[in-house]
Amino acid sequence: MARPRKAAEDRRSEIVRFTVRPDELVRIHKAAARSGRTLSAYARAMALSGRVVMQQTRSLSPDDFDELRRIGVNLNQLARVANRKGDLPPGLARLCATIELFIAQHIGHGPKGPA
Protein backbone atom coordinates (compact mmCIF):
# COMPACT_ATOMS: atom_id res chain seq x y z
CA MET A 1 0.00 0.00 0.00
CA ALA A 2 1.36 3.37 -1.04
CA ARG A 3 1.92 6.22 1.34
CA PRO A 4 -0.96 8.75 1.33
CA ARG A 5 -0.35 11.93 -0.64
CA LYS A 6 0.41 15.11 1.29
CA ALA A 7 -1.99 18.02 1.10
CA ALA A 8 -0.90 20.74 -1.33
CA GLU A 9 -0.05 23.18 1.49
CA ASP A 10 2.20 20.55 3.16
CA ARG A 11 4.30 19.83 0.04
CA ARG A 12 7.69 21.44 -0.25
CA SER A 13 7.69 22.63 -3.83
CA GLU A 14 9.85 25.76 -3.73
CA ILE A 15 13.61 25.65 -4.21
CA VAL A 16 16.08 27.94 -2.47
CA ARG A 17 19.63 28.07 -3.83
CA PHE A 18 22.72 29.78 -2.55
CA THR A 19 26.41 29.46 -3.23
CA VAL A 20 29.18 28.66 -0.78
CA ARG A 21 32.91 28.11 -0.91
CA PRO A 22 34.14 24.49 -0.82
CA ASP A 23 35.34 24.84 2.79
CA GLU A 24 31.95 26.25 3.81
CA LEU A 25 30.19 23.30 2.17
CA VAL A 26 32.34 20.89 4.18
CA ARG A 27 31.44 22.74 7.40
CA ILE A 28 27.72 22.64 6.52
CA HIS A 29 27.87 18.92 5.73
CA LYS A 30 29.64 18.22 9.05
CA ALA A 31 27.12 20.31 11.00
CA ALA A 32 24.23 18.50 9.29
CA ALA A 33 25.79 15.11 10.11
CA ARG A 34 26.31 16.11 13.76
CA SER A 35 22.66 17.16 13.96
CA GLY A 36 21.52 13.83 12.51
CA ARG A 37 19.69 15.55 9.66
CA THR A 38 20.02 15.57 5.93
CA LEU A 39 21.70 18.58 4.38
CA SER A 40 18.30 19.89 3.20
CA ALA A 41 16.64 19.39 6.58
CA TYR A 42 19.56 21.04 8.38
CA ALA A 43 19.67 24.03 6.02
CA ARG A 44 15.89 24.44 6.24
CA ALA A 45 15.95 24.35 10.05
CA MET A 46 18.80 26.86 10.22
CA ALA A 47 17.12 29.18 7.73
CA LEU A 48 13.80 29.08 9.57
CA SER A 49 14.88 29.07 13.18
CA GLY A 50 18.66 29.33 13.34
CA ARG A 51 20.46 32.24 14.90
CA VAL A 52 21.50 35.01 12.55
CA VAL A 53 23.78 37.83 13.61
CA MET A 54 22.64 41.11 12.09
CA GLN A 55 25.34 43.45 10.89
CA GLN A 56 24.25 47.02 11.26
CA THR A 57 26.04 49.51 9.12
CA ARG A 58 25.43 53.08 8.26
CA SER A 59 27.20 54.91 5.55
CA LEU A 60 27.44 58.58 4.93
CA SER A 61 26.16 60.17 1.79
CA PRO A 62 28.91 61.69 -0.35
CA ASP A 63 27.74 65.18 0.68
CA ASP A 64 27.84 64.32 4.41
CA PHE A 65 31.25 62.68 4.01
CA ASP A 66 32.60 65.78 2.25
CA GLU A 67 31.16 68.06 4.94
CA LEU A 68 32.70 65.94 7.69
CA ARG A 69 36.05 66.06 5.87
CA ARG A 70 35.85 69.86 5.70
CA ILE A 71 35.03 70.06 9.40
CA GLY A 72 38.06 67.87 10.11
CA VAL A 73 40.31 70.17 8.07
CA ASN A 74 39.04 73.21 9.97
CA LEU A 75 39.46 71.46 13.30
CA ASN A 76 43.03 70.54 12.37
CA GLN A 77 43.76 74.19 11.56
CA LEU A 78 42.36 75.23 14.95
CA ALA A 79 44.52 72.62 16.68
CA ARG A 80 47.64 73.96 14.92
CA VAL A 81 46.83 77.52 16.08
CA ALA A 82 46.20 76.29 19.63
CA ASN A 83 49.53 74.44 19.68
CA ARG A 84 51.40 77.46 18.31
CA LYS A 85 49.83 80.03 20.67
CA GLY A 86 49.39 77.77 23.68
CA ASP A 87 45.71 78.59 24.22
CA LEU A 88 42.40 77.22 22.90
CA PRO A 89 40.26 79.33 20.56
CA PRO A 90 36.91 80.38 22.04
CA GLY A 91 34.08 77.99 21.24
CA LEU A 92 36.38 75.05 20.47
CA ALA A 93 34.82 72.84 23.17
CA ARG A 94 31.33 73.56 21.77
CA LEU A 95 32.54 72.80 18.24
CA CYS A 96 34.00 69.46 19.35
CA ALA A 97 30.73 68.55 21.09
CA THR A 98 28.79 69.39 17.91
CA ILE A 99 31.10 67.20 15.83
CA GLU A 100 30.76 64.30 18.28
CA LEU A 101 26.97 64.64 18.14
CA PHE A 102 27.02 64.61 14.33
CA ILE A 103 29.18 61.48 14.30
CA ALA A 104 26.93 59.74 16.83
CA GLN A 105 23.79 60.55 14.81
CA HIS A 106 25.07 59.90 11.30
CA ILE A 107 27.71 57.24 11.68
CA GLY A 108 26.42 55.44 14.74
CA HIS A 109 29.58 55.71 16.82
CA GLY A 110 29.34 57.91 19.85
CA PRO A 111 32.26 59.52 21.59
CA LYS A 112 34.71 57.00 23.05
CA GLY A 113 35.05 58.93 26.29
CA PRO A 114 38.15 60.55 27.77
CA ALA A 115 41.41 59.27 26.34
Kindly tell me the sign of the dihedral angle through the C-alpha atoms of 80, 81, 83, 89. negative
> How many CB atoms lie under 10 A from the CB of residue 42?
19
- Residue-wise pLDDT for 27-70, tens only, equals 999 999 999 999 999 999 999 988 766 666 667 778 877 888 88
* Structural domain contains residue 21: yes
Do 97 and 72 lie in a common domain? yes
This prediction has a pTM of 0.44
Q: What angle do CA 102, 103, 104 make, to 5 degrees?
A: 90
* Structural domain contains residue 22: yes
Q: Residue 81 belongs to what domain range? A: 62-106
What is the rounded distance in angstroms from the CA atom of residue 15 to the CA atom of residue 32?
A: 19
